[in-house]
Amino acid sequence: MKNDHPHLMALVRGAEGDPNALLWLKKYKFDVLEKVARGGDNDDQSINWLINKNLKDFANLSLRIRAVKNAIEDDNQDVHKFNID
């Protein structure tokens, strides 16, 4: 986090389900990024919050994070995609 953008790292870690990152975002009043992270971690209430606040671009970002994250997880769980070499 030496790059002066700790909020972006907290967003990534929060989307991966890190509760400390989510608390950090809340503590430093990055409420929108906290909701983006939670939405990326499959929290539909956070997506609805973003939409209700007319933050549709952030809701879309959150949904895209979710889609990529879930696709990676599905690939990791698919026994047909394991490389046994």
Residue 57 DSSP one-character state:
H
pTM: 0.85
pLDDT of res. 74: 78
pLDDT of res. 24: 97
Residue 80 pLDDT exceeds 70 = no
pLDDT of res. 40: 96
Which ranges constitute the DSSP H helices of the chain?
6-15, 19-27, 31-40, 44-52, 56-77
CA 38 vs CA 3, 57, 83, 84: distances in Å: 23, 15, 31, 34
- Give tens-digit pLDDT for 1-43: 466 799 999 999 999 999 999 999 999 999 999 999 999 999 9
Residue 78 pLDDT exceeds 70 = no
